[in-house]
């Protein structure tokens, strides 16, 4: 995803989506992703160039979103922050299930039919 600023500078965003919970456990349980896997994938995303066909050149990703359908534990966030240097730490942003639901509430978008509560 890219965003063009009013100054015509372009910011590039990468998204790493995980289905379930992200925790700092040593091994991944069913439905959970290990934060070590997330760290390796985020570093690869930030360190490798991508091709922008509109500019016809290779560019680097400026920011990485780590999005989880479940919870991102505080221990996982702290572990990742301790492993990244200060410049990389500001490039990684987290969005858990609660953040996604808050976006729906703030923007007043209707929830998808599969997410609605029915009795």
Question: Is 84 domain-assigned?
Answer: yes
Question: Is 6 domain-assigned?
Answer: no
Q: Backbone dihedral region of 17: left (phi > 0), alpha (psi from -120 to 50 degrees) or beta?
A: beta
Task: Report the pLDDT value the prediction gives residue 116, as an integer from 0 to 100.
Answer: 73
**Two tokens at 83?**
């492993």
- Domain encompassing residue 60: 15-115
User: 47-74 burial, b if ≥16 CB within 10 A, otherwise e?
Assistant: eeeeeeeeeeeeeebebbbbbbebebbe
Question: Is 111 domain-assigned?
Answer: yes
The number of distinct structural domains making up the chain is: 1
Share of the chain above pLDDT 90, in %: 27
Q: Residue 6 and residue 4: Cα distance in Å, rounded?
A: 7
Whole-structure pTM value: 0.75
Question: Is 71 domain-assigned?
Answer: yes
Q: In this structure, are residues 60 and 46 in contact, taking their beta carbons and an 8 Å threshold?
A: yes
Looking at residue 28, the DSSP 8-state letter turns out to be P
Q: Enumerate residues 6+ apart whose C-beta is below 8 A from 2.
A: 10, 11, 12, 13, 52
Question: Is 37 domain-assigned?
Answer: yes
Q: Is the pLDDT of residue 31 over 70?
A: no
The model's pLDDT over 63-115, given as tens digits with 9 standing for 90+, comes to 999 999 889 889 988 888 888 887 788 888 999 989 888 888 888 777 778 87
Question: Is 4 domain-assigned?
Answer: no
Question: Is 7 domain-assigned?
Answer: no
Question: Is 10 domain-assigned?
Answer: no
């Amino acid at each position: 995803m890219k965003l063009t600023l009013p100054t015509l500078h372009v910011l590039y965003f990468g998204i790493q989506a995980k289905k379930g919970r992200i925790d700092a456990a040593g091994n991944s349980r069913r439905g959970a992703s290990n934060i070590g896997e997330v760290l390796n994938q985020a570093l690869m995303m930030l360190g490798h160039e991508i091709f922008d066909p509109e500019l016809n050149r290779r560019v680097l990703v400026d920011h990485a979103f780590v999005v989880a359908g479940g919870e991102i534990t505080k221990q996982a966030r702290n572990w990742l922050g301790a492993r990244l240097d200060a410049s990389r730490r500001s490039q990684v942003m987290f969005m858990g299930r609660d953040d996604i639901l808050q976006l729906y509430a703030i923007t007043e978008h209707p929830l998808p039919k599969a997410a609605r509560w029915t009795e």
